[in-house]
Structure 1
Amino acid sequence: MYMHGVKKIDQLRAFKEQNGHCNVSTLDARNKTLGGWVSRQRESYKKNSLSSNRIEQLSSIGFTWKERDHAWEDKFDELCLFEAQNGHCIASTSDMQNKSLGQWVSNQRT
């Protein structure tokens, strides 16, 4: 079991190098098995049944324990880029190019 975990962590590390994140989808046919393993790691973490060693290993490669955290960080990065380009953080929902970002900003305010 331990070697299986080490192999999966190595696969996840390679996935992150290629994709810039550790959120492997179970819908991705090429990575379905890895995606299932990632999902089980999150479930075990929620149930406090993941070893501290495994938590440390996954955290060290930038594993996001809650998928929502990853989505939030992506939008925050998008907002930072928007601010760098526009000099402000007022992304509007009426701006078709930034409608999704504008909605996210609005949701953060409420």
Structure 2
Amino acid sequence: MNYNALVAYKKKYGHCLVPQGFSENPILGNWVFSQRVAYKELRKSIGNGKTVIEWSSRMIKARFEKLNELGFVWDVKEDSWEMNYNALVAYEKKYGHCLVPKKNKALGGWVDKQRGMYKKFHEGGPKKEWALKAEGRIKKLNKVEFVWKLKRGRRSG
């Protein structure tokens, strides 16, 4: 029932990012959220050496595969980071640099956040979540010649 509602949502909106407080169908929003929670539990269980049988009651393989086929986003924050990174790559291809002006609020804000997290990472105090992914993200951003530190007096925007 909820899966079919998700299929209909995707057909209407083009994605599976149902907000938890989705007013048209609050049950669907909560169900989508619970699938992500179950997935996180699954990953944690496997990381702790548990077998598939121990987590199968929460997230059966068939459901997982069906949701994957639908294009379900398991990690919304990671998906958002990748979308912004792809937007930066497109920006760099168009303009030849990664100095996104502040007037480009969405991408410019994301670029500033990456610089701030990079600084915290090198000072030893980033948010745990970013620190775990930092090395891979830094490598990806370096591929597009990301400017980590702006010269004094130079502002992107």
Q: Unaligned stretches of 5+ in structure 2? A: 43-57, 118-136, 139-147, 149-157
The higher-RCO structure (CA 8 Å, 6+ apart) is 2
TM-score, normalised relative to structure 2: 0.55
C-alpha distance in structure 2 between counterparts of 1:14 and 1:86, whole Å = 39
Q: 1:103 aligns with which of 102, 107, 112?
A: 112
Which residue is equivalent to 2:8? Answer: 14
- Cα deviation 1:66-108 (Å, max 9, x = unaligned): 121221122123213322432333325xx22242132244245
C-alpha distance in structure 1 between counterparts of 2:19 and 2:93, whole Å = 31
Q: CA RMSD in A?
A: 2.2
Q: Name the structure with the higher helix share.
A: 1
What is the number of residues matched between the two proteins?
Answer: 102
Q: 1:69 aligns with which of 56, 78, 83?
A: 78
How much has 1:60 moved relative to structure 2?
Answer: 0.7
TM-score, normalised relative to structure 1: 0.74
Structure 1 residues 17 and 80, CA gap change in structure 2 (3 angstroms): farther
Q: Unaligned stretches of 5+ in structure 1? A: 1-6
Identity of aligned pairs, percent? 28
CA contact (8 A) 1:25 1:31 kept: no
Q: Residue 70 of structure 2 aligns to which amino acid in structure 1?
A: I
CA contact (8 A) 1:8 1:34 kept: yes
1:22-101 equivalences under 5 Å are 22-48=16-42, 49-92=58-101, 95-98=102-105, 99-101=108-110
